Amino acid sequence: MDEMVRYYYFFTGRVQSVGFRYKASFLAQAYKLTGFVKNEYDGSVSLEVQGPEETIDQFVEELRTDRVIRIYSMSKERLDLVVGEKDFKVKF
């Protein structure tokens, strides 16, 4: 079994009003990842995601290659695992 990891991502670009949160939620459920995604007031999107590293990489790559979403910059920071987290949420 792959090691579980958790990352915080911060995305800028055309990432609001293009279905980013819906796509992230859909993909996270499909990949069985947990965490959350949230629009920020400055037009950016923040996301925390937990699961196997390779699966998270695939998840992020699908967001990056979406035909409507345009990510101009992305930062990534490793976080401590959230024990007992069961799902992926869209936060408002």
Q: Which residues are catalytic?
A: 21, 39
Contacts of residues 50-56 at CB distance under 8 Å and 24 or more positions apart, as own/partner, are 50/4, 50/5, 50/6, 50/7, 50/81, 50/82, 50/85, 51/4, 51/5, 52/1, 52/2, 52/3, 52/4, 52/5, 53/2, 53/3, 53/5, 54/2, 55/2, 55/31, 56/5, 56/7
